[in-house]
Structure 1
């Protein structure tokens, strides 16, 4: 007797029934990446098509001076932000490999002093390396998992992460200024339209036809921009704090201070390299040579109390 073939409806129903609705660990990273890329592309399009022409429009209907320079500045911020995001996202160099141990201990089968054995990766990892359950890899000098890039911030991309935060901060400040200027020109904040700048009130005014779709869209976009501005400022500030102390975020949480250098500038050089290299990284979003390899670290004798 020939077996009856399941219909498409039955297949979809069976697939839906067996589907696991539990939140995955990677869901937050996926949401962070989608939010960032959505904000990045919508901001640059909104800026070039709507905000900048409106900002430089004179009473005569002509585009005022400085418009082309503002366009170039907008495109430059977009490229710098996108490329530094990619340099942080591409974190393969941070992943601990078995070759790292063989380079320093070619004949040793035991876990070297200061190293740790990772039962998940089933290999020895160097000091300051920790396993990330989201990336499922041991990461060199792991600082944190960045949900916006969907990758771990570690030895090889901490510098680009800081530069990325700098450009996000500059971009969001500039975007918020243009967005507020656009809205304030049509709906003055100091008038009876002040209530519009509260999102729920603004949404109600849109539903009753008091404001246009573009105005409510830019208001919501402005709120998202301000959230991004606050997050980038926080992470930039926090990175400056832990780097100046010669720590990672994990080490600051655990109060580990044995890798802290005697001079604060040395702590910054461990992450950014020399001043010329860092300034070049600010302008040219390329991966450049770092002062070490992320495997070998010097312990300061006077700092052992903080371990």
Structure 2
């Protein structure tokens, strides 16, 4: 994950305009294709073979998969549509109070004072309130106002790929496909060599899907763990200092809003944030 992040940052800094032109649409198309593929593969290929299509369990899986797919795309869209820029604040909120002026800093690009935890994004071309990072999947920055949506986006991507992995695993166990060991690499080698082995014809697609699924759930899981740690400490992707850590309950409310963890049900749930992102309470240090 760190290597991938560093690689993307390198290309982004080399040519920001070109990076945005290609990275955003490619990432969104990839996510859409992967979501449709895993949904179709599970409900139309794996589940009918494993449990049939007549029982309540198959219908329940349909509902679960639809809820997951909905929350992946609805939260991603909510991230994109939510403005986290400092410019969205009223002008009277862009003036620090006498006791907090030392916490604000001057942005050379925006030519103005910006609140603490706000940083300039070269891709969005503005300062972002409590900037976490710029996401290629949501095509904008993750900050104070849309961090809730991004967390549930990563949660449902992880959940969806995990559910698909369990179903894939059950299917491969049923047909003893897992007995072939690291079949993906092995079958690819045989396929390239032009072998007519029956094993390749029967197992290649299942092993490719299973390996891709394993990679997807691992990558999404790393993102989710990282975001969970950020919420736990009220930190951000690039700023892991603990001076804003006010305790788990307050940290959750700062990011999720008044509805707290109930926001996992849908991004349409109203959950006002406790403040506008201009003022941040510091943790009291007991000496």
Q: TM-score range by the shorter chain?
A: 0.7 to 0.9
Work out which of the residue numbers 74, 84, 104 in structure 1 matches 2:75.
Answer: 84
**1:152, CA displacement in angstroms?**
1.6
Q: Cα gap change, 1:90/1:198 in structure 2, threshold over 3 Å: closer, same or farther?
A: farther
Q: Tell me the distance in 1 between the aligned counterparts of 2:266 and 2:274.
A: 18
Work out which of the residue numbers 137, 160, 178 in structure 2 matches 1:148.
Answer: 137
Bigger share in helix: 2
Q: Cα gap change, 1:237/1:135 in structure 2, threshold over 3 Å: closer, same or farther?
A: same
Is the radius of gyration larger for structure 1 or structure 2?
1
**1:294, CA displacement in angstroms?**
0.9
Matching residue of 2:242: 257
Aligned runs of 1:9-48 on 2, under 5 Å? 24-26=18-20, 27-48=22-43
TM-score, length of structure 2 as denominator length:
0.80
Matching residue of 1:138: 127
Q: CA RMSD in A?
A: 3.0
Q: Tell me the distance in 1 between the aligned counterparts of 2:29 and 2:139.
A: 10
**1:173, CA displacement in angstroms?**
1.0
Matching residue of 2:255: 271
Q: Tell me the distance in 2 between the aligned counterparts of 1:294 and 1:166.
A: 24
**Secondary structure of 2:264's match?**
helix
Q: Please say if 1:235 is aligned against 2:226.
A: no
Q: Tell me the distance in 1 between the aligned counterparts of 2:143 and 2:170.
A: 39
Q: Tell me the distance in 1 between the aligned counterparts of 2:195 and 2:15.
A: 39
**1:112, CA displacement in angstroms?**
4.9
Q: Tell me the distance in 2 between the aligned counterparts of 1:88 and 1:198.
A: 38
Checking the alignment, whether the CA contact within 8 Å between 2:75 and 2:152 is kept in structure 1 is yes
Q: Cα gap change, 1:241/1:65 in structure 2, threshold over 3 Å: closer, same or farther?
A: closer
Q: Deviations over 1:94-128 (max 9, x none)?
A: 0120754433539xxxx954222222233332111
Matching residue of 1:14: none
Q: Tell me the distance in 1 between the aligned counterparts of 2:50 and 2:265.
A: 27
Q: Tell me the distance in 2 between the aligned counterparts of 1:122 and 1:231.
A: 38
**1:25, CA displacement in angstroms?**
2.7
Gaps of 5+ in 2: 1-13
Checking the alignment, whether the CA contact within 8 Å between 1:101 and 1:124 is kept in structure 2 is no
Q: Tell me the distance in 2 between the aligned counterparts of 1:188 and 1:258.
A: 51
Q: Tell me the distance in 2 between the aligned counterparts of 1:220 and 1:242.
A: 33
TM-score, length of structure 1 as denominator length:
0.75
Q: Please say if 1:160 is aligned against 2:149.
A: yes
Checking the alignment, whether the CA contact within 8 Å between 1:127 and 1:296 is kept in structure 2 is yes
Q: How many residues align?
A: 266
**1:153, CA displacement in angstroms?**
1.4
